[in-house]
Amino acid sequence: MRIAALSPATLVRAAAPTLALTLLATCLLAPPARAQGPAPKSATTSQATFIVKPHMVADEKAVFATVESANVVPARARIGGTVAELSVKDGDEVKQNQVLAIVGDEKLVLQMKTLDAEIAGLKAQFSQAETDLNRAKDLFSKGTVPRTRLDQAQTAYNVADNALRAKIAQRSVVEQQLSEGKVMAPTGGRVLKVPVTAGSVVLPGETVASIAEKNYVLRLRVPERHALNMKAGDTIRVDSTALGADGAKFGTIKLVYPEIQDGRVVADAKVAGLGDYFVGERILVWVSAGKRESVVVPASFIITRFGIDYARVRQNDGQKGSQVIDVPVQRGRLMPRPDMPDALEILSGLHAGDVLVKP
C-alpha cells in the first residue's frame, strides 16, 4: 500500500497543538526569577593591608641590667658617741631632714654641767665686780678714793664680764654638739641599709643609714665591643614580665659612663614603672649592637598552617583582575618597636612593594 507524502505546512499544522501545551507547562512549572541585587564588593577591598618595605633595624643583644638608684646618699653621724635612739629600719621611706637616729655622748652632758657651774660662779664674780665699780665711782665723785682705785674696779669689772661671756659661748658650743647628735636624712627616698643598732658606738662621720633617691634607673653593663654603638638617646627593649606588665616595654639610655669597668661599658637607662622599693633586681634587656636592613611586618599578617608560615599577598594591586594568594615565608624573631609592638622579622619570601592582606 502506498502512503502519500505530506507537505511541510501540513506537518506544522499538525504539531502546533502539542508545542503550545509543552510551552504552557514549562511556564507554569518554572520557579520565579530572583531579583538581581548590586554586585558584592570584593573581599580584599575591605580588609587591612600592609605594604612591605625594607627597614633599618637594630641588631639586638640580650644583656642583664640591675635596678639601682641614681644616687645613694649616706646619712652620717656628726659626733661620736652611742646610738641612743634609732627610728628607721631597712626599707622605710623617709623625707628630707627627717630624724633617723640620735647619738648621745655622756662626756658632753658632763661638760654641760661643768660649764653651768662655772657660769654660775662667773655671774657671782661679775655681780661683785659691778658692785665694786659702782661704789668706786660714788667714792671717786666725793673725792674719797684716788683715780687708781676707780681704774682697778673698772678693770675687774671688764675681766669678769669677758670671762662670763667666754663661758657662755663655750656652753653654746657644747649645746650645739649635743644638737648635732641628731642624724638627719640628707635627702628623701628609701632606706637601703642601717648598719648600726641602738646602743652601738659610732665615730664622727660614720654611716648610720644609706638612703636611695626615688629616681630609680636601669644600670646596664655591656661588653666593651659595643661601646661605639651605644649612645645617649638610644632605645632599649625591656623584658616586661619582670616588671609585672604585658606586652613590650621600652626605655631610653640617659647616660653612658666614660669609665670601662671589668671590660664592660656602664650606662643608665630611664624606664617607666621600675617601682620604688626593690634595688638590685636583675632584668633582661635588649640593646642595639648595630644596624642592618631587614623586612619587618606585623605578626598579625602571618598565618601558620600545618607548621608552615604564610603571608597573603595581593597580586596586580589596583588593577583589574587582582587576586590574593598565600605565599610561604620564613619567619624570623620578634622585634617589638614602639610604633609596631608585634613586629616580626621575615627572612625570606617577601619583597619590597608586596601588598599584604590581613587574614
Three cell numbers, residue 44: 580584599
User: Which of 243, 183, 188 lies closest to 212 in space, CA to CA?
Assistant: 188
In DSSP terms, 216 is beta-bridged to: 69
Residue 41 resides in a domain = no
Question: What is the domain count for the chain?
Answer: 4
pLDDT at 168: 92
Q: Which residues contact 80 (CB under 8 A, 6 or more apart)?
A: 103, 105, 201, 202, 203, 204
Contact partners, residue 266, CB within 8 Å, separation at least 6: 219, 220, 221, 256, 257, 259, 260
Sequence letter at residue 35? A
> In angstroms, what CA-CA distances link 338 with 21, 103, 231, 325, 343?
77, 52, 19, 30, 10
Any domain includes 25: no
Q: Are residues 97 and 112 in the same domain?
A: no
CA dihedral 61, 67, 71, 77 (to 10 degrees): -140
157 and 185 assigned to the same domain: no
Predicted confidence at residue 30, as pLDDT, reads 43
Range of the domain at 241: 59-71+213-292
> 344 and 301: one domain?
yes
Residues of the chain with pLDDT under 50: 1-17, 19-46
pLDDT given for residue 39 in this prediction:
35
Task: For residues 309 and 251, give the distance between their C-alpha atoms in angstroms, rounded to a whole number.
Answer: 32
pLDDT at residue 318, rounded to an integer: 59
pLDDT per position as a tens digit, 31-59: 444 333 333 333 333 458 888 888 888 77
Q: Residue 319 has what pLDDT?
A: 62
- Are residues 100 and 191 both part of a single domain? yes
The answer to whether residue 8 sits within a structural domain is: no
Confirm if 249 and 240 have CB atoms less than 8 A apart.
yes
